[in-house]
Amino acid sequence: MDKNSRDYEVCVCRHITRGQIEDFLKETGLTDLKEICQKLNVGNVCGACRGMILDMIEEMK
Ligand code: FES
């Protein structure tokens, strides 16, 4: 699947899609990766998705 699709599963461990992360970032305005991972319960298993989440945070700024 296209990585830019809203249905793309960014975090395979927590089954969190790009769309879910985008909406969360928009709603909360959070920019701190650690806080986002804690509150959305994402990126806290293997950590492989954190780079992509960071990129998304940068894109939203
Ligand atoms: S893919 Fe997100 S924690 Fe493993």
Each residue's pLDDT tens digit, 11-61: 999 999 999 999 999 999 999 999 999 999 999 999 999 999 999 999 988
The model's pTM: 0.95
Q: Is the CB of 43 under 6 A from ligand 1?
A: yes
Q: Is the CB of 46 under 6 A from ligand 1?
A: yes
Instruction: Please indicate, yes or no, if residue 44 is contained in any of the structural domains.
Output: yes
Q: Whose CA is nearest to atom 1 of ligand 1?
A: 11
CATH code: domain of residue 32: 1.10.10.1100
How many structural domains does the chain have? 1
Quote the radius of gyration of the chain (alpha carbons, Å): 10
Full 3-state SS string of 31-43: CCHHHHHHHHCCC
Instruction: Please indicate, yes or no, if residue 3 is contained in any of the structural domains.
Output: no
- Residue 61, pLDDT score: 80
- Residue 21, pLDDT score: 98
- Residue 1, pLDDT score: 84
For 44, the domain range is 9-60
In which band, very low, low, confident or very high, does the pLDDT at 10 lie, cut at 50, 70 and 90? very high
Of 9, 11, 37, the residue with max ligand 1 atoms within 8 A of its CB, to mutate for a pocket test, comes to 11
What DSSP element (H or E) covers 9?
strand 9-11
Note the maximum CA span of the chain: 28
